[in-house]
């Protein structure tokens, strides 16, 4: 199977995947399962953009990557919104351009809601620049950790 066999879906399109998706993200990031379930249920119930959850699935329906789009990803600058969060690609699928594909999809989706700019926080350096994002500044997370924030215009 190759990267062309991958589909990007939203939880709004496939609400029956809520528990599967919440469990998958919980296992990747260690955030309590209930936090994901609550945000994902809100995304299913919402008619607005936020929150929104995206998943890349293979032809068998297995999750291989995903990310969320939320108002704030646990940092102190609440005016810098919306934020991409919980971005993860399974190790076997890395290096195939899926992160950029997912990020560009989210940028287009947000642009269709008249959002002009997105943000994300990460400890990675140079990776997001290769995906078309710009370093914005160092930012303090709610736990006091200082990390990098990136930004990109929507598409």
pLDDT at position 47, please?
87
Mean pLDDT of the chain: 95
Among 108, 113, 112, smallest CA distance to 152 is for 108
pLDDT at position 40, please?
97
- pLDDT, tens digit (0-9, with 9 covering 90-100), for 18-55: 999 999 999 999 999 999 999 999 999 998 889 999 99
- pLDDT, tens digit (0-9, with 9 covering 90-100), for 96-150: 999 999 999 999 999 999 999 999 999 998 899 999 999 999 999 999 999 999 9
DSSP state at residue 75: B
> How many residues are present in the chain?
155
> In this structure, are residues 52 and 12 in contact, taking their beta carbons and an 8 Å threshold?
yes
> Tokens 């989706």, residue?
109
Which secondary-structure segment (H or E) carries 63? strand 63-70
In 10 A of CB 70, how many CB atoms? 20
Q: Please tell me the pTM assigned to this model.
A: 0.94
Task: Report d(CA 125, CA 68) in Å as an integer.
Answer: 20
């Amino acid at each position: 199977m190759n990267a062309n066999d991958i589909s990007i879906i939203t939880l709004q399109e496939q609400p029956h995947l809520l528990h599967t998706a919440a469990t998958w993200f919980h296992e990747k990031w260690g955030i309590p399962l209930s936090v994901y379930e609550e945000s994902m249920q809100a995304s299913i119930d919402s008619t607005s953009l936020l929150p929104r959850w995206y998943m890349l699935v293979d032809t068998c329906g297995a999750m291989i990557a995903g990310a969320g789009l939320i108002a704030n990803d646990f940092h102190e600058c609440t005016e810098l919104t919306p934020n991409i969060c919980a971005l993860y690609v399974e190790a076997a699928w890395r290096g195939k351009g899926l992160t950029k594909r997912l990020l560009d999809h989210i940028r287009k989706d947000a642009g269709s809601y008249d959002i002009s700019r997105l943000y994300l926080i990460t400890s990675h350096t140079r990776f997001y620049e290769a995906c078309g994002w710009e370093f914005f500044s160092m930012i303090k997370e709610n736990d006091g950790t200082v990390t990098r924030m990136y930004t990109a215009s929507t598409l």
